Amino acid sequence: MYMRVKDLLKKDLLILIIPLIAAGIAYPFLPAHLPRLLTYFGILTVHTSKGFIFFFAVMPYAFYKAIKAKRG
């Protein structure tokens, strides 16, 4: 579904923008690779680039919209 920015409510924008700003501030301080999967013994098996943090910054907005759609 296509939504224009002017159609979003202020709360929607805050839930989207604040985590992105926090990720943008933290980005230069992160190492090049972040651990993504550790074994039971604490051995790193999978890592990802630090740009993946922006995916996590959008997740609160996605959850909010899913819950909002479910409630009606």
- pLDDT value for 2: 56
Cα gap 46→35, rounded to integer Å: 6
Quote the pTM value: 0.72
Q: Which residue type sits at 34? A: L
Quickly state the pLDDT bin for 68 (edges 50, 70, 90): confident
Q: What is the pLDDT of residues 1-60, one digit of tens each?
A: 555 656 667 888 888 899 999 999 999 999 998 888 888 888 888 889 999 999 999 999
The runs of H, that is alpha helices, within 8-52 are 10-26
Buried b (16+ CB within 10 A) or exposed e, 48-61: eebeebeeebeeeb
Which pLDDT value is given to residue 5?
57
